[in-house]
Amino acid sequence: MAKKTIADIPVAGQRVLIRVDFNVPLNGSTITDDRRIRGALPTIRSVIERGGKAILMSHLGRPAGKGYEQAFSMAPIAKRLGELLDEEVTIPAKNCKSPEIAAAINAMNDGDVMLLENLRFHGCEKRGEADFGQTLASYADVYVNDAFGTCHREHASMVATPIAMGNKPKVAGFLVEKEIQYLSSTLTNPASPFTVILGGAKVSDKLPAIEHLLPKADHIIVGGAMAYTFLKALGREVGDSRVESEMVKDAHRIIELAAESKTDLHFPEDHICSTEFAERAGDIEVFDDEIKDGFMGLDIGPKTAARYSQIIKGSKTIVWNGPMGVFEWAPFKMGTKLIAEAVADATDAGATSIIGGGDSAAAAEKFGVANRLSHVSTGGGASLEMLEGKRFKAVDLLDEA
């Protein structure tokens, strides 16, 4: 899946349209986490430092798709990006289809940066309409996809625009290049032992990934609420823990598939439980194996964390998607914290570690290990779909290396 990147294209004097993922969390007009903006800087700098004109486009939040909404304006992002680049970043119009945009692009100097207003102010973006893609393509000589977080979406800026570019260059940015390298290339031939860590709430969310990775993995470690659906399938008592009743048969099928394969499928053997789904209410107890009625599992127990950590530290390739418990709450954070530290220790010892975005990435940050890991994905949903073995049209449309 090797693709040309922006580094392969001469950009001096060229209009370079870059699809970035600036869908950052906001508190009013204050950005509470600018990692996605900082993550796009290498691609943007590669363009402007070589004399290209960088025209950036992104979505932000969930506007109605019926025109400009101030609450979802890209203005705070333009301000923060300008601070990081130490140059002005303009938003030429409130409408991505406005004639003002073409005029503003024509007035750009080499090395300038422009940010289009929120793509999702237009309902045609999410509908993937060809006309909107054609409008965006008309602004550019070169198209760059550096928005891995939306690569699994066939939206206009992701698919219709590169199609409309025709024979003009269509390349990956450095973020997308890195995601493809780790989530596709590395997992095509993972170094063994290969361990997959899956957590979170729902078996249904992770089932396709388990089925795809089962033939490749040496170990699949299961934690989080999804573990209780598997334990229910094994006939264990899980108390009031969350169970997807409609998925019990599927969970049983996965257990049988694992038994017939080389893969060891691991489930929690002890549990930190509470009578309430709350941080500071309810009675908390640790149960070995089976859970008493009235209690729900909210984290893996210390025996499980120790066993899982040992497996992880002996691994050469590690994929982690989903926490082991409600790590945001102090009484139930230790399972996820110990797993995060084990993954970091294994990486320090030479393993390749791939963290699948979302809550896992947040946990890696919270517990201070993110900078010790090989790769922390910028796209939760996209990374999970790539772990399921899916192809993305938005990536397939980019020029081959």
Q: Which residues carry out catalysis?
A: 36, 202, 358, 381
How far apart CA 150 and CA 361 sit, in angstroms, is 17
Is the CB of residue 219 less than 8 Å from the CB of residue 195? yes
CA-based R_g, the chain, Å: 23
How far apart CA 339 and CA 317 sit, in angstroms, is 15
First-to-last alpha carbon distance for the chain, in angstroms, is 9
> Which ranges of 158-200 would DSSP assign to H, the alpha helix?
161-164, 174-180, 187-188
Q: What is the DSSP string of 245-300?
A: GGGHHHHHHHHHHHHTSSPEEE--SEEEEESSSSSSSS-EEEEESSB-TT-EEEEE
How far apart CA 319 and CA 334 sit, in angstroms, is 19
Q: How far is CA 371 from CA 126, 342, 345, 368, in A?
A: 34, 14, 12, 8
Indicate the burial class of 69 (C-beta count within 10 angstroms; 0-12, 13-18, 19 or more).
middle
Q: Which residues pair with 300 in a beta bridge?
A: 271
Indicate the burial class of 82 (C-beta count within 10 angstroms; 0-12, 13-18, 19 or more).
middle
Is the CB of residue 212 less than 8 Å from the CB of residue 195? no
Task: Determine which helix (DSSP H) or strand (DSSP E) holds 231, and give its type and residue range.
Answer: helix 226-233
Give 293's contacts (C-beta < 8 A, 6+ positions apart).
237, 239, 240
How far apart CA 91 and CA 275 sit, in angstroms, is 52
Q: How far is CA 237 from CA 245, 271, 291, 301, in A?
A: 14, 12, 6, 16
